[in-house]
Amino acid sequence: MSLTRARLPEKMGDYIRVIDFSAYSLDKENISEADMEALTKELMHSFTTSGFAYLKNTGISEEQVDAMYDVTDRFYALPAEIKEKYARANDKNRERQGWGCVERESLDKENISEADMEALTTELMHSFTTSGFAYLKNTGISEEQVDAMYDVTDRFYALPAEIKEKYARANDKNRERQGWGRVERESVGGLSGSDRPADLKEYFGIKIPLIEDESWPYEVPEFEETCLNFYAACKSLTFRVLELVARGQGIEVAGFLDMFKHMGTGPNGTSLRCTHYPPTPEVVKENQLRCAEHTDIGCVTLLFQDRPGLEVCTEGDNYVLAPPIPGTVVINIGDMLQWWTADKLVSTKHRVNIPATAEGRGQRRRSIAFFAKADCDVKLKCLDGSDKYKPMIARDYHAMKLQTTYD
């Protein structure tokens, strides 16, 4: 495969002046007054008409330009996780060196108009007040980043069980913890009062920063770095979504975002979960699912998925498919946001069913979910001043929910 760089057609020279710069090229030390005057007039004519000009015979050779293309082509061909090491710092006050991924700049708030912000808010609120779910596209999180996550987690799941057990999630029902959960370790149906058997899935939950005896699996060298980079990208996208939610609900934006200020740095319940649904056994327990029906306990969830299986509950307790759409991320409301908005935004039940066909049952499924939650010391209360829900500290709320999840 070769790369072809587009060039402007020759007729553009009729509108943008071509200026011969040979009299003042980089290899010339001196220029006559007459040549300087002529060049000045030509350049000013271009700048006062189109604002553009073509300069030829400047002293910068095609070889120098091609050499730049060559080294940057080789950089862009590197895996995304390597390029991420050189990502431009998120500094809006000065120019910084570094890489920017495809569509990353589309998330820059400085580049969005008030009209676009209003339109996004309206669209998101329409989805959240109808189904509670939406697909987001052009978010700035690339397919390469998602694939890198699948790669490192696939390698972890392929390890022998005795090695994975070293990284097992602690049996802690009071707070989110990092670690691996074996198949049938978790029963999320308990969150919605279901008594289904435990789920047919294994997972690795990522909680940043680590606490106590938690650790990263050194058997997969790139695991930690890839997960940290992906967590950071999801956090950035989540904060943009939360801003839209605040605007849509008439909540003061800065105060709302402040309730998440410790995400990824301190006492906050947010987690990144990578889930692997192995091929379904021929015989399963009665009423068992890959992931039982439940609502998410956090504020909002970002979900990346590689195969169909996700089903969303609609009116009448009917379930509809929410299949993966390339280049998108699924987003949905969690219980915490329903609490804050006093049911103006409602958390919707969803599940991952067992495939109906033999072919589907023989295939694995993978997903990555970013569960955004408030800081642990935040008081959850109805932000409209109503008493729809009794105020509760986020830490206690989270512990209450986890009691029904783990065996």
Q: Where are the alpha helices (DSSP H) in 30-136?
A: 33-49, 62-76, 80-83, 114-130
CATH 2.40.160.20 correct for 107-402: no
pTM, entire model: 0.72
Mutual orientation of helices 223-248 and 143-157 as an angle, nearest 10°? 130
Nearest to 286 by CA among 197, 352, 357, 190: 197
The number of helix segments (H) and strand segments (E) in the chain equals 11, 15
Residues 245-254: contacts with CB within 8 Å, 24+ apart?
A: 245/124, 245/125, 245/128, 245/300, 245/337, 245/345, 247/117, 247/121, 248/121, 248/122, 248/124, 248/125, 248/128, 249/125, 249/341, 249/344, 249/345, 249/383, 251/383
- Cβ 216 vs Cβ 224: under 8 Å: yes
Amino acid at 406: Y
Sheet containing 291-294, strands listed edge to edge, beginning at the edge strand earlier in sequence: 291-294, 350-352, 310-314, 318-321
Q: What is the pLDDT, as a whole number, of residue 91?
A: 54
Q: Where are the domains of the chain?
A: 10-78, 107-402
Tokens of residue 174, six digits: 């009071």
Q: How far apart are CA 195 and CA 182, in angstroms?
A: 19
Give every CB contact of residue 97 below 8 A, 6+ residues apart in sequence.
88
Per-residue pLDDT of the chain (407 residues; tens, 9 = 90+): 222 233 333 443 444 778 898 888 888 888 888 888 888 888 888 787 667 788 899 889 888 888 888 788 778 777 676 777 787 766 555 676 887 755 444 444 557 888 999 999 999 999 999 999 999 999 999 999 999 999 999 999 999 999 999 998 877 655 567 889 898 888 787 666 777 888 999 999 998 988 777 889 999 999 999 999 999 999 999 999 999 999 999 999 999 999 999 999 989 999 999 999 999 988 899 989 999 999 999 999 999 999 999 999 988 888 999 999 999 999 999 999 999 999 999 999 999 999 989 999 999 999 999 999 999 999 999 999 999 999 999 999 988 887 766 55
